[in-house]
Structure 1
Amino acid sequence: MHTDLAYLTAQELIALYRSGKLSPLEATQAALQAIERHNDRLNAYSLVDADGALAAAQAAEARWHRGEPLGLVDGVPVSIKDLILTRDWPTLRGSRLVNREQDWDEDAPSVARLREQGAVILGKTTTPEFGWKGVTDSPLTGITRNPWNPETTPGGSSGGAAVAAAMGMGALHIGTDGGGSVRIPASFTGIVGFKASFGRVPAYPLSPFGTLANVGPMARSVGDAALMLSVISRPDRRDCYTLPIERPDYHETLNGNIAGWRIAYAPSLCGEPVDADVAKCVAQAARTFETLGAKVEVIEPPLKSSLATFQTLWFAGAAFLVSQYPEQSLAALDAGLAEIVAQGRRFSLMDHLAATKAREALSVAMNQFHRRFDLLVTPTMPISAFAAGHDVPPGSGLAQWSEWSPFTYPFNLTRQPAISVPCGLGKHGLPVGLQIVGPLYGDRAVLNAARAFEQNHGFTRPPLAA
């Protein structure tokens, strides 16, 4: 029974609370039991506060009994990625450089909004050091593993959140995405991960990676991702980039009707290779939109290779990030992070400005592209999960994580909304993700198309959850 409770969606939980058929305490106990069963092996959570979660669940239960829930997610178990400030808990960011002994007295905007709406916060999920790469392992917390095959990575940098979602360790999960860090692990673990338009979800403190970085929802269903966005997208004055509030009802506008929509399907971007099994799954997924009444056209978007642009901005951000720490402490960094810091220090101001101009041109090209197409669909990842504990697929000859994730970071550069939804299983039975990209500020359209697709391709529990 508790296993089944752990896999209820947030929307299902709320409906059961309202009817009196389930309590927040029961749901929280089920999530905590899933953590107890699986976390030692998979390393999804770096911190769990069972006592605090149970107390919060009891308070939520009392509110529901009085018919006075606080908000949209009252009593729903959630997790917070350990890059995001959470009151009373250390936010160590996967790093031995962060001083645990300091005041932890402030919630980031997304955490504050969840508390205001009654969410039950279970703990903090694992991240690579400072969220710098597309897999999840760090000198502080070790290796996080994929529940589809623990010998493989769940991706990153929100790998802990993805594993927690896939394994029923909470219904809703906050991740971050600076180059794909919500969508990469969503693809590798078979869940939903949404990067909204930049500025849609307020952040504080702002990321050292600048306007590449986003905070976003991760869940087992599109409806839950939309529900979470309805909560965490409410503005916060601490973020100078926060967008004016839209109607906070993303979860209520998912009608799944995309008849007549114009959808561009790109089997690849800029000629990047895609594994045959991934390509097959994504091609079949693209055809699903035709059965839903959309007009699908195979096309190559007007994107020039942006790897150098992204790496200039990303590596410089990493160098700025560690500049706040004493030079002698940097020997404790993840070796790969230390490498890109060294590269980032070599970039000049002119290099950074040139990358910014290239980014602007890319954004304008996609703005023009979306005059013709409502949405773009691509593979989320060109590969499925590879061996855990490696920054790049062993034997690939690649040097950096961004080289094996060519479909995610371009849309951090352009600031467009993009979601990864599961679309099948590839070789060795590992999940494959479909990416749906919308025009800037077209968040509702992306979510609605993802919901329509999800009606045919929903979440599947990993083998370890059996």
Structure 2
Amino acid sequence: MSSISTNPLADASPLCRLNVQTMTARYAAASLSPLEVADAALARASAVQDRYNAFASIDRAGALAAAAAADERWRRGRPLSPIDGVPVTIKDIVQVQGWSVRYGSHSSSAAVCDSDAPSVARLRAAGAVLLGMTTTPEFGWKAVTDNPLHGITRNPWRPELTPGGSSGGAGVLHLGTDGGGSIRIPAAFCGLVGHKPSFGRVPAYPGSAFGTLAHLGPIARCVGDVSAMLDAMSGRDLRDWHQPIGNPPSFPPLALSRARVAYWSTPACGQLRPEVAAVMEQALNLLRSLGVEIQPFELPDIDLLDVFQKHWFSGAANRLSRVAPALRGQLDPGFVEIAERGLALSAADLVAAQTRRAEFGAFMDQTMNRFDLLLAPATPLAAFPIASRQPAGDGAAWTEWAGFSFPLNLSQHPACVVPCGLTPDGRPLGLQFIGARGADRQLLSLAGQFEALGAFPHLLDSGADDER
């Protein structure tokens, strides 16, 4: 196996290695300033942009101004939140005041937004330092990241591999979206933690063309960072009509060793690769060593791929309808193909799919009433070469590597991906933690307990320049 290519942080400032808790503790102790961290993050983003193409745009002036304001608050001992002064990136799908949101598409307007999405407004109110927009496939339609406007985004473990998608440019502390795995797949492929919250926990406005499949959530280096960012973004917003009314149910703290656990081993589509299954078994054995009893889980007899695709293709058709006919020739042909399949669906087709979706959602609610935690591979395979645009033998459909993720967009249950090991050739893999709807805090606590059990070789410490 060839060596893993140059680690993008091998020669970076040590500040680029800090998690949120350590960073803000140093802010409080006046041994580090938000300006120093912002400078380091901007320098690293600039240094590796040509190689990895993670950013659609960078707002250097805005980031430094926000960092300076955070610096002053920390000096006065009056930070706004636990993430005050922490650098954050935003997916090029989410509205940010003063920035252009391009969706990875030539068909989009370069005009700047006049307001923030609720999630972004809350990050600003918490003092987060917004660095820039990160790349996405056009309109976030698939689970690899290349688009007509910005080109190909690469994996920091090996540039010849895909980082997944559609939140493919994400990496440090990031606001992503997930309509079929778009937070969890990049987290798994890049050795990060990604959390798709319970639907509605983070408000969505303007609404997604893909409707109630779409969730907003964080990607970060550790569970604690994800939790801090989720807390900053969560809550009711009257502009999001789909948000559940009322407070989420209460789920008490729970020790991982006492949790009722099931394991889901067969994806809704595609095949679980043997090298992935082996790493998952090692992770399960780690839990068994704590005394955890793990029961098998099987999906119901519902064609979930068909249900998902009818929703997804309809969403693509909805998005295509917003593109002027004269501009459609500039679109990703794959996106146009699925949009046309959506246009061919009847209202009866979609209503039937919605009915089966509700059946599956009820099945999952009943399952999570019997178990505290459902585990699954994040993906059935590891990151694959960009040149193939798809893993060998799996066909053209990106859903072939989303068989453990898109069902949870249908059911709207929270799911957190945590790094759990490497394939024999050194590609990262993630274990997915799934909880009851509304049980995000409990779920993240369980994921954090697992994270604390093992020394997963993070990118920053992986010896990524060595032979594997």
1:200 is matched with which residue?
Answer: 201
2:338 is matched with which residue?
Answer: 340
Per the alignment, do residues 191 and 103 of structure 1 end up closer, same or farther by CA in structure 2, a change over 3 Å counting? closer
Matched, 1:440 2:441: no
2:113 match: secondary structure: coil
Q: Which runs of 5+ in 2 are unaligned?
A: 1-10
Amino acid across the alignment from 2:194: G
2:137 is matched with which residue: 128, 147, 159? 128
Distance, in Å, in 1 between the alignment partners of 2:77 and 2:193 is 31
2:168 is matched with which residue?
Answer: 159
1:213 is matched with which residue?
Answer: 214
1:259 match: secondary structure: helix
Per the alignment, do residues 98 and 265 of structure 1 end up closer, same or farther by CA in structure 2, a change over 3 Å counting? same
Distance, in Å, in 2 between the alignment partners of 1:239 and 1:365 is 26
Equivalent residue runs for 1:45-84 within 5 Å: 45-84=55-94
What TM-score does the superposition give when structure 2 sets the normalisation length?
Answer: 0.92
For each residue in 1:266-307, what CA deviation from the matched residue of structure 2 results, as whole angstroms up to 9, or x when unmatched?
222358521111101111112222334432223324363300
Per the alignment, do residues 293 and 303 of structure 1 end up closer, same or farther by CA in structure 2, a change over 3 Å counting? farther
1:233 CA drift (Å):
0.7
Per the alignment, do residues 387 and 2 of structure 1 end up closer, same or farther by CA in structure 2, a change over 3 Å counting? closer
Equivalent residue runs for 1:219-298 within 5 Å: 219-243=220-244, 257-269=255-267, 272-298=270-296
For each residue in 1:48-89, what CA deviation from the matched residue of structure 2 results, as whole angstroms up to 9, or x when unmatched?
112221121111111111111122311001100010001101
Per the alignment, do residues 78 and 90 of structure 1 end up closer, same or farther by CA in structure 2, a change over 3 Å counting? same
1:363 is matched with which residue?
Answer: 361
Equivalent residue runs for 1:445-464 within 5 Å: 445-457=442-454, 458=456, 460-461=458-459
2:127 is matched with which residue: 111, 118, 141? 118
Distance, in Å, in 2 between the alignment partners of 1:334 and 1:312 is 20
1:9 is matched with which residue: 14, 19, 42? 19
Per the alignment, do residues 270 and 75 of structure 1 end up closer, same or farther by CA in structure 2, a change over 3 Å counting? closer
Contact residue 19 and residue 222 of structure 2 kept, 8 A: yes
Contact residue 302 and residue 369 of structure 1 kept, 8 A: no
Contact residue 148 and residue 464 of structure 1 kept, 8 A: no
Distance, in Å, in 2 between the alignment partners of 1:314 and 1:233 is 25
Task: Select between 28-37 and 405-414 the one with higher mean Cα deviation.
Answer: 28-37
1:156 match: secondary structure: coil
1:3 CA drift (Å):
2.5
Distance, in Å, in 2 between the alignment partners of 1:334 and 1:270 is 26
Distance, in Å, in 1 between the alignment partners of 2:130 and 2:464 is 22
1:371 CA drift (Å):
2.4
1:168 is matched with which residue?
Answer: none
Contact residue 273 and residue 382 of structure 1 kept, 8 A: yes
1:445 CA drift (Å):
2.3
1:411 match: secondary structure: helix
Contact residue 157 and residue 464 of structure 2 kept, 8 A: no
For each residue in 1:376-428, what CA deviation from the matched residue of structure 2 results, as whole angstroms up to 9, or x when unmatched?
111111111111154422x3151210122211000000000011111000042
Equivalent residue runs for 1:68-107 within 5 Å: 68-100=78-110, 102-107=111-116
Contact residue 221 and residue 459 of structure 1 kept, 8 A: no
1:176 is matched with which residue?
Answer: 177
1:336 match: secondary structure: helix
Identity %: 46
Matched, 1:305 2:314: no
What TM-score does the superposition give when structure 1 sets the normalisation length?
Answer: 0.93
Distance, in Å, in 1 between the alignment partners of 2:169 and 2:301 is 31
Amino acid across the alignment from 1:28: A
Amino acid across the alignment from 1:438: G
Task: Select between 434-443 and 310-319 the one with higher mean Cα deviation.
Answer: 434-443
1:30 is matched with which residue?
Answer: 40
1:461 CA drift (Å):
1.4
1:8 CA drift (Å):
0.5
Contact residue 268 and residue 407 of structure 2 kept, 8 A: no
Distance, in Å, in 2 between the alignment partners of 1:350 and 1:379 is 34
Amino acid across the alignment from 1:228: M
Contact residue 307 and residue 403 of structure 1 kept, 8 A: no
Per the alignment, do residues 437 and 326 of structure 1 end up closer, same or farther by CA in structure 2, a change over 3 Å counting? same
Contact residue 187 and residue 433 of structure 1 kept, 8 A: yes
Q: Which runs of 5+ in 1 are unaligned?
A: 166-171
2:26 match: secondary structure: helix
1:444 CA drift (Å):
1.8
1:225 CA drift (Å):
0.4
Task: Select between 300-309 and 44-53 the one with higher mean Cα deviation.
Answer: 300-309
CA RMSD, 1 decimal: 2.1
1:422 match: secondary structure: strand
Distance, in Å, in 2 between the alignment partners of 1:454 and 1:246 is 28
1:64 match: secondary structure: helix
Per the alignment, do residues 48 and 264 of structure 1 end up closer, same or farther by CA in structure 2, a change over 3 Å counting? same
Distance, in Å, in 2 between the alignment partners of 1:245 and 1:71 is 24
1:378 is matched with which residue?
Answer: 376
1:245 CA drift (Å):
7.2
2:421 is matched with which residue: 419, 424, 434? 424
1:407 is matched with which residue?
Answer: 404
Contact residue 256 and residue 452 of structure 1 kept, 8 A: no
Distance, in Å, in 2 between the alignment partners of 1:423 and 1:3 is 26
1:234 CA drift (Å):
2.4
Equivalent residue runs for 1:128-147 within 5 Å: 128-147=137-156
For each residue in 1:97-118, what CA deviation from the matched residue of structure 2 results, as whole angstroms up to 9, or x when unmatched?
0111x35111011110000011
